[in-house]
Every structure is written in C-alpha cells, then in structure tokens.
Chain A
Amino acid sequence: MNFAGMSIQRRLRLIIMMTTTVALLLAGGASVVVDFVSLGQITERDMNTLASVVSIDSTAPLTFRDRDAAREILTSLRAKPAVIEAAIFDRSGLPFVTYARQGSFAPGSLRDLRESPQSGHIEVFNDIIFDGEEIGTLYIAASRDIVKMRLRQYVLILGGILVVALVVTFILSSKLPEVVSRPIAGLAGVAREITRGDNHGLRADEPRNSTPSEIRDLITAFNQMLGEIDRHRNKLEIQVQERTAELSIVLDRNQAILDSAGEGIFGLDLDGIVTFMNPSAASILGSAGMGLVGRSLHAHIHAATCPDRTLPHDDCRVCGARLAPSVRIGRGKFNRFDGGAVPIEYTSSTIVDDRGKPAGVVVTFRDISERLAMEKMKDEFVSTVSHELRTPLTSIRGALGLLGSGLLGNVDQRAQRMLDIAVSNTDRLVRLINDILDLERIDSGRVDLNRGMVDSGDLMIEATEGIQDFAERAGVTVIADPSHLSLWADHDRIIQTLTNLLSNAVKFSPSGTTILLNGSARDGMYTFAIEDEGRGIPKEHLETIFERFQQVDASDSREKGGTGLGLAICRSIVAAHGGRIWAESEEGKGTTFCFTIPLYEIPADSPDERPVDAAYDRPAVLIVEDDNDLARVIGASLQANGLRTRHVTSGRCALAACKDEVPDVVILDLILPEMDGFEVVQWMRTQARLAHVPLVVYTAHEVSPSDQERLRLGPTEFMTKSRVSPEEFQHRVVELLAAMIAAEEVQGAA
C-alpha cells in the first residue's frame, strides 16, 4: 500500500480500520479455534457416554443373541443425528448387528475397523461387558459435520460483526478532521494567506479543548513564530525606512548639486539617449531643451557648423561611450533650442559599470561665449600692443642701427659704444616682446599646434645644423646622435624647443666642451636629451628654471642675451604636446635637459589622420591638405564613393605616409607647411614605387604651364579650388582611379 502523499485523515482512517479488522479477526479466530476444539471434545465425550449406555443396553440382546432387540437398540441411535454408523461385534469380532443412518454399513470385522480408522469421523469402540466378561464390542462412528457447521456459522457471524465494525469505524473516523486534520489544515491556510502577503497580522485559531495536545502545541508554536516574524519584519521595515530616509537625503543633496551646478549636465545611456539633464543645461540651451530627455543627444545637439555633427554617434567625442580616453575635453557648438547656437566647452566622461564595461556618458558643458569674447578682446589687445610697441621700436632700432653702422658718418668711440649698447638692448626688448607674445599664445592654447607625423632624427639634425654657427663661435661642439622614429608633433615648435635648449646649452658651456643631443622611445613617448658639460645647475633651481624670468643667476639673462622666457616657452610647447620637460644636473659636471613628445600612433582624437577603413583592398587616396575642414569635406565625399582616405597636413607627413603605403591617388595642395607641393612631387619622382601614382593638384591658384610640367607625376589633373565643384572633383578622382586600374590591367595582360 502506498502511503506517500496520502492525507493524514485517510491515513488515520486506514490505520484504524486495519487495526479494527486485525483485532476482530484475531479475537474471532481465537474463539473459533477454542470452540472448535471444545466442540470436538464434547462430541467425543458425548459419543463415549452414548457408547457406555448403548453397551449396557446391548448386554442382554448380545448375551441372548437377540438380533432384533440389538438392532432396535442401534436404531434408537437415530435420535442422535451425529451418529452415522454403528455396529455391535460379538466376542469373535464379527458384526452382530449394524446400523447406518444412510445407505448400508457392512464392516468386515472389528479388527478391520480398528486398523483403518476413518478420518473426519469420531470413532468410539466400547467393550460390552457382562458379568465381568467381555462379550462383544460396540462401535459408533459420529460425523464431525456438526463441528464444521458450527464453524461456518461462527465465520458468518464473525464476518457480519467485522462489516458492522468497519462501517461504524468508518463513520466514527470521519469525525477525525474535527480533531486533527482541521486544525492542521487551518494552520496551512493561515500560512498560505500570510505568504500571499494579504494579512500579516493573521493568526491560527486558538485550539479547542477537544484539540489534541500536540496539535495545540503546534498551533501555539506556529502563532509564536508568526509573532516573531512580525517583530523582525517591523524591525526591518524601520531599518529600511531609516536607510531610505538617509538615501533620499543623499539623493536630494546630489539632485541639489546637479540642479545648482552652473554647468549644464547631460546623462546619456549607451545608445546616447538623454536620460537626464539639469536645469543649467536647459538654461544654456533654452528651456525647450528639456524635450531632449529620451532622445538622442548626438542627433540634436551639434550645431550645423560643428564637424562632430557629421561623425557617426560612436565616434563623437561628446556622445560616444566607447571612445578612449574615457574623459574627453574639448570645445564645440551646441544648438540652442530657441534658435541659434552657443559655443561650449565640454567634459565628456564615460561611465563604467562594476565589471568595467561602459554604461553611459556624462557630459558637462558650459557656455563659453563670454570667454570667447574675452579671448577675442585679449587677442586683439595683444595684437594691437604688439603692433603699437613694434612700430616705435622699429624706428628706434633702425635709427640706432644706421647711426652705429657709420654709414651716416663716424662717431667717436664712446658714442659708438653707447650706440652698440642701445642697439643690443633694443634687440633684447624686441625678443622679450616676441617671447611674451609667444608664451601667451601657447599657454592660452589659442595657437593650434600644427601637428603631423615628424621624424625625430630629422628634427635633431635640423636643430643641430641651425645652431652650428652659433656653437662654433662659442667654441662648443654640438653632436646629434639621431634615432629615427615618427612623432606626433608640430615640427616648427619642436625645432624651436630644441634650438632653445641647444642655444642655452651652448651659452652655458665653456669653450672646448661638447653638447650631445640624443633620444630614445619608451611607453609611447619619445624623450629628447640635451647633455652639456657646463657648470651645472644647483638642485634647488632644477624646477624653477622653467618659470618665467627665473634664471640661476639674475645676471645671466643680461650676460647671455636671453629674455628669461626661453625655458618657459619650451615648457609650454612641450606641455601643449602632452609631454614633460625636466632637467637633471650635477653641479660642475654638466646638465641634461630632457623632454618627451608623443610617438606617432593612430591618434584616437583625429579620425582623419588614420586609415578610415580597415578594408585595405579598397583604393587608398592620400589627401595632402593643410586646411583641415577642406580635407574633411574631400575625404567624406570620397569615402562616400567607397574609397579609403588618409589625410596629412604637411609635405613632410605626405612623405611619411607614402613610405607607409603607396597611395592609389594623391590629392595635393601646393602651399603646405614644412615642404611644399613641388618638393613632394620632386621627391615622389625619385621613388620608383611612387613615380607613376595618379595625382590631383588641388590648389588655390591657377598653375602656370611651366609649373604644371614640374608637377607631373602619373596621370595628373590640375584643379583650382574656387572653380571646381565638389561633385566634379569627386568625379575626376574616380576617373583617375579607373584610368589607373585600366593601365594596370593592360600591363597585366602584356
């Protein structure tokens, strides 16, 4: 029988009924057995008694051999239904008379009967004695049927009792739920209801007096447990309330910070959708800007003139979440939502989740229109001052120079000396003004570095050559130990820095010593080192020498003709490149000035400088153009035609780019920094791989026929910027490429 999953009520009922059945069967069985045994004994005893009586009665007939009388006696046994057969045997053991209740009974001899007892019968042999002498034997056989009959009766009665008992038990056991199962089901119901969270105050019903004690204990314990849970929950609720209150204070404070921040703040999700913006953002961009929440920032924020607008969302330095570096600072123009645009300065920070994956972007920005106006005013002021100071200085310098030259007649020696002093100090004043202006421009970041790919070794050689005359006059040897690596730098500014440091080194080196210029690359930076054998710099001055007008000895600047701004300018230039400058010195043994400049890697912040697409099987167009905006327009239109573009801003970088990869077409501006278009073509003509590259000369002015000859490379086209529409331009570039591919095929066929 399978008890599993059966309700308590059914189990109990089953157990009770089984117990009842077993008890009844055992009791009934026992009494039947007892009765059966005793009934057998009684019958046997009855038969013996009967046999004794019949034996006595049979004495006379047997003695007198009166068969009739003897038969009569035996026939009287008919009154005893149990007796089925009887016989009287004479002395010899032969049957004298027989009796059979049914049919006939003809035993052979007494001995046969004795030797083969009949099972199922009670057989009695009783000697018939007369006068102390055995005269015969009485045999009576009684059937045990009566015992069996009784047994059958007993079984029937017992079965009846069992059925009645089970019915009664069943009826009684249906009362069980009242006692056991109902309170338990009640508990379950309460538990279920509490679990559903409807009523935490609910308790199980108090047990009745009739409820068994264990269940009563169970109910009590259950209710106690509920009370305990309730208490804990209340405690937790209080804690949660406390924490919530604390949190909301923090949140309120953060909200207050965000709300009161003067800067506009946008929160963006990974897709660039605005999830949050603060009131300052709305006030900078116009109150309608609040409508930006839930929309893409990139699609709506960039002003029409802003180059970021044309970039894909993920490449946008303001809105892209997957860009490196994770914090980006820059300037741009945001649309105002009531018309117009506002110049802004932004800081865009990628937010990362616990696993370090980008989760969104926070963009903070401020309106810089006032600052730009101020800067413009300052620029104008600086420009004016520069002009206003230079004009009288030009006259003074010119007049003094002419006087001192003797061209206007000789002056006496002392007057000559005075004139020389006046000339040299005027020169110094001019340099000072130049340096101050220079420093001011670099520090304010308003002079854009004209960065490109430049070779460290070339820089070192160029700077060394430039300083050679000056060094020779001072009797100092300058040696460059160039190592050639590509740097991401403004060529002129690095030359200015190197020249400045080298001339400083020359000035402070005794005659006959050597200055060594070398460099090495490490961690994405190239370190230039200028080592001299001069008198060295005291430790306490190693930092301060880079400050404005700070020299080790105040007399130095006058003696050496410096302005006291050279190192400050160097530091500003290096800092503008993202590098570092420092000096190492051992007094008496010389000084080493070092500065670092980033190596040329694919710069993440200038998408036009790297191959735009990794699909290298597409034709590559090299755009050599110092006007970034124009290059971007050209690049975009060519990319739209499935071409790969690379953009460089100087002739020198064009050379480097050609060394990297032979372009399929070169688009060349003529007036370029560092190395002009003519020089680029001259150089390309000397390179076997580059001498037949198709070329588009795209320049501001009409190119004269003689110049056209100097500029011819492979198939060459000349276009004037103002006369050729972008569509036509694009068309001609594609045509050139087709011509080139056709030429290659002809070559291949031949």
Chain B
Amino acid sequence: MQPKKILIVDDEDHIREIASVSLELTRGWEVSMAGSGADALRIAPQLRPDAILLDVMMPGMDGPTTFRRLQDDPSTRDIPVIFLTAKVQAADRRRFTELGVRSMIAKPFDPLRLAIDVAAALEWV
C-alpha cells in the first residue's frame, strides 16, 4: 500500500517537527510541512496530500480562513482537513463542523496516538 501523504500546517517549528516525526515513525507516512496558511495554499495543489493537518491559530492567515481558501480551489476541495487546535470547546467544535472540517485533534496531542486518531477520523482502515 502506498504510504499516505500528509501536509502539516503549523506556525510552530517544533510542533511541525514532532508531528512529522510521530507520523513517520508510527505509520511511515510521508509528511510535508508548511509554516503558514499561505505556504499551505501554495504547496497543497501540487502536493495533493491525502490529508491536511491544519493549525487553527496562526498569525496572518488562520486555520478557518486557510480551510475556506482550500475549499474554494477545485484542486484542493476534496482533500480532507483535520484541525489541530487548542480550542476544544463545544461551540468551536460545532462551528468547525459546520464549516465542513472533518475532525479536530486537540493540542497537546500524544505523538503515539496522532496517526491513529487521523486514520480513525478519515476512516482509513
């Protein structure tokens, strides 16, 4: 089976790095990284990842904005997006679900469970 391609979008270098190490080590997925929403919008159309892990609070373009821009682009519209967020309030969850976000993973995450949670959310058997 072809390893999954994942795009991690987070303004924090360390978090990007840890998430990437975690996904590579636990599942052997191919991880690409973007340090901002703008970078993500540039990279995603070419990369065509299987999923995007998108940080919600980012300077400049935040997660929801980036998500909407991805949705507006036909080439990235169908890529499932999972939010990485420190916000876990029910109201936020409702708001994000309504936007069309597939799932949310709370920060801090357990690096050993990250891939499991992503796979479960996207129903990857």
Which residues of chain A have a CB within 8 Å of any CB of chain B? 383, 386-387, 390-391, 393-399, 401-402, 405, 407-408, 426, 430, 434, 441, 447-448, 450, 492, 626, 671, 673, 700-701
Q: How far is the CB of B18 from chain A (nearest CB, A)?
A: 3
- Asked, given contacts A407-B25, A701-B100, whether A395 binds B14 with beta carbons under 8 Å apart, the answer is yes
A398 adjacent to B97 (CB under 8 Å):
no
In the docked arrangement, what's the CA distance between A399 and B16, Å?
A: 11
A387 adjacent to B14 (CB under 8 Å) = no
**Distance (whole angstroms) from the CB of B58 to the closest CB of chain A:** 10
Known: A401-B110, A426-B108. A395 touches B18 (CB 8 A): yes
Q: Is the CB of B112 within 8 A of A405?
A: yes
Mark interface residues in B53-96 (1 if CB within 8 Å of A CB, else 0): 00001000000000000000000000000000011111100100
Residues of A close to B14: CB separation below 8 A = 394-395, 398-399
Whether B25 and A408, one on each chain, are in contact in the complex, defined by CB atoms closer than 8 angstroms, is yes
Chain B contacts for A393, CB-based, 8 A: 107-108
Complex Cα spacing A212 to B107, Å: 117
Identify 13 residue pairs between A and B in the complex whose beta-carbon atoms are under 8 Å apart, listed by A's number. A386-B86, A387-B57, A391-B15, A394-B12, A395-B14, A396-B108, A397-B110, A398-B15, A401-B22, A434-B88, A450-B90, A673-B94, A700-B98
Q: Give the chain B neighbours of A396 by CB distance below 8 A.
A: 108
Tally of chain B residues near chain A (CB < 8 A): 26
Q: Of residues 22 to 70 in B, which have CB atoms within 8 Å of A's CB atoms? A: 22, 25-26, 57
Supplied contacts A393-B107, A394-B12, A671-B94, 20 more A-B pairs, CB within 8 Å:
A386-B86, A387-B57, A387-B86, A390-B107, A391-B86, A391-B107, A394-B18, A394-B109, A395-B15, A397-B111, A398-B14, A398-B15, A398-B18, A398-B111, A401-B111, A447-B89, A447-B91, A626-B94, A671-B98, A673-B94
B57, B89, B98, B112: which contacts A401 (Cβ < 8 A)?
Answer: B112
Q: Is the Cβ of A399 less than 8 Å from the Cβ of B18? A: yes
A402 to B108, CA, bound (A): 13
Residues in B neighbouring A401, C-beta threshold 8 A: 22, 110-112
**Bound complex: CA A448 to CA B94 (Å):** 14
| A490 vs B1: C-alpha distance when bound (angstroms) | 44
Contact of A398 with B25 in the complex, beta carbons under 8 Å:
no
Docked pose: A689 CA to B89 CA in angstroms:
37
- Once the chains are docked, how many angstroms separate the CA of A402 from the CA of B17? 11
Write the nearest CB–CB distance from A427 to chain B, whole angstroms: 8
Q: Which of B12, B18, B86, B97 gathers the greatest number of chain A CB atoms within 10 Å? A: B86
CB-CB under 8 A from A450, the residues of chain B are 90
For the complex, give the distance between the alpha carbons of A583 and B91 in Å.
31
Bound-complex Cα distance A700 to B97 (A) = 11
With contact pairs A386-B86, A397-B110, A700-B98 given, residues A402 and B22 touching in the complex (Cβ less than 8 Å): yes
Contacts of B21 in A (CB 8 A): 402, 408
Within the assembled complex, what's the spacing in Å between the Cα atoms of A441 and B15? 27
B6 proximal to A (CB < 8 A) = no
When distances are taken between beta carbons in the complex, the residues of chain A under 8 Å from B89 are 441, 447
Q: Are A398 and B94 in contact, with the CB atoms below 8 A? A: no
- Least CB separation from B26: chain A residue: A407
Given contacts A407-B26, A447-B91, A673-B90, contact A391 B12 (CB under 8 A): yes
Question: In the complex the two chains form, what is the Cα distance from A361 to B123 in whole Å?
Answer: 59
Min Cβ gap A699→B in Å is: 9
